[in-house]
Structure 1
Amino acid sequence: MDRDARLKRLRFRAWHRGTKEADLLVGGFFDAHASGWNDEQIGWFEALMEEQDVDIMAWAIGTARVPERWQGEMMEALKRLNYIPIAR
């Protein structure tokens, strides 16, 4: 699958997680960062999409320890949470 098709598929999966909170966290992260991802980072995100939303959210907000396989630059960016739109 070419890069554009992978990203299009991932964007759909990121924004259709099952809850609005997960959509904003995962979809917002995708929209903010995906355009600059290399193939390895796309692969990381594809694998992350197989995890449960409650786990991803807990890792992002710091209520659960991030498993070693997910630790690194991408998870640190996910944990910043500066990409979630907040109505004011």
Structure 2
Amino acid sequence: MTPLELRQLHWRSRRGLLENDLLIEKFFSQYGAQLNVAQGKAVTALMNLADNDLLDLLLRRKEPQGDTDTPAIRDVLALMRPAVPSTK
């Protein structure tokens, strides 16, 4: 992705729910500079979801279905989702 495309995607990713914003900001801080075009399209597809639907995916309450069930979206979700605490 070009720097301009990345900035536009980052700006478009601002959400109405703080929980989403926190996870998305962390994602962009860690991986934004390395996003490729396929990942950028996957992020765009996720940002087209309603806030609550996106939060359900990010918190693993639901898994991608239908049009959102693609390898690229699953890869991006794996990067966006918080780590699962180990149960020892």
SS at match of 1:65: coil
TM, length-normalised to structure 1: 0.73
RMSD over aligned CA atoms reads 2.0
Which consecutive residues of structure 2, in runs of 5 or more, have no partner in the other structure? 84-88
Q: Distance in 1 between matches of 2:25 and 2:8?
A: 12
Total equivalences in the alignment? 79
Query: What is the one-letter code of the residue matched to 1:72?
Result: R
Percent identical pairs in the alignment equals 23
Q: Distance in 2 between matches of 1:29 and 1:53?
A: 16
Match of 1:51 among 42, 49, 52: 49
Does residue 76 of structure 1 match 2:74?
Answer: no
Which consecutive residues of structure 1, in runs of 5 or more, have no partner in the other structure? 83-88
Instruction: Say if 1:11 and 1:31, in contact at 8 Å, map to a contact too.
Output: no
Does residue 13 of structure 1 match 2:42?
Answer: no
